[in-house]
């Protein structure tokens, strides 16, 4: 009888819904999406996250999680092409995926190299699988602009920019801009990339796509572009397609220096009775320990200590040019080593005859010391862009230059943008 009464009410409800022209609502219970991490369904495992302690090895970690040494040796041997388990380092985080049964035996070991990269060792089956893993990265286009009132690095720091990007900009403009000689009121704008993982975790900077410095009334542009598809190496060019990189850097120190004494063949020194004592170098004063960099690539022909020069390094760049770096606190290279432009070759000090911490930078051309800062000195230039590539480059930089100049992304066609820029 109760079943008949229930059936009667259900029938009335269905008929009532149909009279209203509505179908009865269906309640759909949607199961939650499974959590996937490192390519694994996390709910299937007991997840153990930890950090490698000082003195711990790969073997001791797995042994603690019920994997015994015959199996550990098999894992290490199978994985050696991808990952040397002896190279695990204290302080690095790791994740273990263990079985959910009473044994809680480790089945997967995940070693995290950094925020993005990891190595996965999967040994839950008879065959050990070793692979490298990279977290999906979201690249976001960003821009930053500022006005220099003290130094470029302090300005970037005040804008919340980390040193990595500041150093990158210094490298890009190392041949065309003396960062010590920036004037109060000089301004800049940079279009660059930031990388994120898990939507919000900052994972470093990407490419610097373009930049402009307004210095001494001039706009110094930099655009990243691959001009030679066979080499596929990006370089930075100005708005006319001239490469920013040249054979020699402007200074052997990146930041925080001042030129305390220039090349001067008629210099008189009061200490020596106001007699002429030629100074055949350029002194860059900086704090003790400041890195000194090679202004061009070449072979170290001297790395020693001698008399008033103190500790120094001399580099032969080719049959025409050599450079020397004096008064180091210590050298970072040895005779016979090949160094690339920008490599650290030593550190600022006060060895030899010197009244304060600095590096005396000396420059030889055809065996004669000359002034590298003399604008009349013709120095070799980097390989220019091919004429056949230039039209493609100019088309590519139009929207980037427009954004730098007008603070907005262009919506017009490139031809229209070009006309607008030409009228500026």
pLDDT tens by residue, 31-69: 777 888 898 999 999 999 999 999 999 999 999 999 999
- Other CB atoms within 10 A of residue 331 CB: 21
Q: Where in the chain is the domain with CATH 3.10.450.350?
A: 36-134, 137-246+381-424
The reported pLDDT for the residue numbered 176 is 80
Handedness of CA 281, 283, 288, 289 (dihedral sign): negative
b vs e for 90-109, b when ≥16 Cβ sit within 10 Å of the residue's Cβ?
eeeebbbbbeeeeeebbbbb
CA atoms of 393 and 235, how far apart (whole Å): 12
C-alpha 172/C-alpha 224 separation (Å) is 9
Query: What is the mean pLDDT of the segment spanning 345-361?
Result: 93
pTM of the full structure = 0.64
- Which residues of the chain are in CATH 2.70.70.10 domains? 258-370
Fold of 258-370: Glucose Permease (Domain IIA) (2.70.70)
Question: What does R_g of the chain's alpha carbons equal in angstroms?
Answer: 32
User: What's the chain's average pLDDT?
Assistant: 85
User: Which has the closest alpha carbon to 219: 210, 230, 206?
Assistant: 210
Reply yes or no on domain 137-246+381-424 having CATH 3.10.450.350. yes
pLDDT tens track for 246-286: 888 888 998 778 888 887 776 655 545 566 577 788 899 99
- Tell me how crowded residue 111 is: count the other CB atoms within 10 A of its CB: 22
* Angle at alpha carbon of residue 180, lines to 405 and 344, rounded to 5°: 110
Neighbours of 248 (CB within 10 A): 19
Amino acid 231: pLDDT: 76
Question: Which whole number is the average pLDDT over 386-395?
Answer: 93
Q: Which CATH class is domain 36-134?
A: alpha beta
């Amino acid at each position: 009888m109760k079943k008949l009464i229930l059936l009667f009410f259900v029938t009335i409800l269905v008929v009532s819904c149909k009279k209203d022209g509505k179908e009865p609502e269906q309640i759909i219970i949607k199961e939650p999406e499974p959590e996937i991490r490192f390519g694994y369904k996390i709910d299937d495992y007991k997840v153990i996250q930890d950090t490698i302690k000082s003195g711990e090895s790969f073997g001791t970690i797995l042994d603690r999680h019920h994997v015994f040494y015959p199996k550990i040796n098999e894992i290490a041997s199978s994985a050696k092409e991808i990952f040397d388990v002896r190279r695990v380092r204290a302080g690095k985080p790791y994740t273990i995926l263990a079985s959910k049964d009473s044994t809680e035996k480790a089945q997967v070991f995940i070693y995290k190299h950094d925020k993005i990269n990891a190595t996965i060792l999967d040994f839950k089956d008879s065959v050990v699988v070793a692979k490298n893993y990279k977290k999906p990265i979201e690249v976001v286009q960003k821009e930053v602009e500022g006005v220099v009132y003290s130094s470029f690095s302090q300005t970037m720091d005040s804008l919340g920019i980390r040193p990595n990007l500041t150093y990158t900009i210094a490298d890009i403009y190392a041949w065309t801009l003396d960062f010590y000689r920036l004037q109060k009121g000089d301004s800049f704008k940079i279009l660059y990339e930031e990388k994120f993982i898990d939507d919000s975790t900052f994972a470093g900077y990407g490419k610097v796509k373009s930049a402009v410095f307004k210095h001494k009334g001039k706009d110094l542009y930099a655009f990243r572009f691959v001009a030679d598809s066979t080499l596929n190496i990006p370089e930075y060019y100005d708005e006319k397609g001239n490469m920013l990189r040249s054979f020699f850097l402007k200074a052997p120190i990146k930041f925080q220096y001042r030129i305390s004494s220039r090349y001067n063949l008629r210099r008189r020194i009061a200490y020596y009775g106001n007699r002429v004592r030629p100074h055949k170098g350029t002194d860059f004063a900086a704090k003790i320990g400041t890195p000194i960099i090679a202004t061009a690539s070449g072979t170290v022909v001297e790395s020693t200590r001698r008399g008033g020069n103190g500790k120094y390094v001399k580099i032969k760049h080719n049959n025409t040019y050599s450079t020397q770096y004096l008064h180091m606190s210590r050298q970072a290279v040895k005779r016979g080593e090949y160094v690339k432009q920008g490599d650290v070759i030593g550190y600022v000090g006060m060895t030899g005859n010197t009244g304060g911490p600095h590096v005396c930078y000396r420059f030889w051309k055809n065996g004669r010391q000359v002034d590298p800062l003399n604008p009349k000195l013709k120095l070799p230039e980097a390989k220019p862009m091919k004429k056949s590539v230039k039209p493609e480059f100019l088309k590519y930089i139009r929207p980037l230059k427009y954004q730098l100049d007008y603070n907005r992304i262009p919506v017009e066609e490139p031809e229209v943008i070009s006309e607008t820029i030409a009228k500026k």
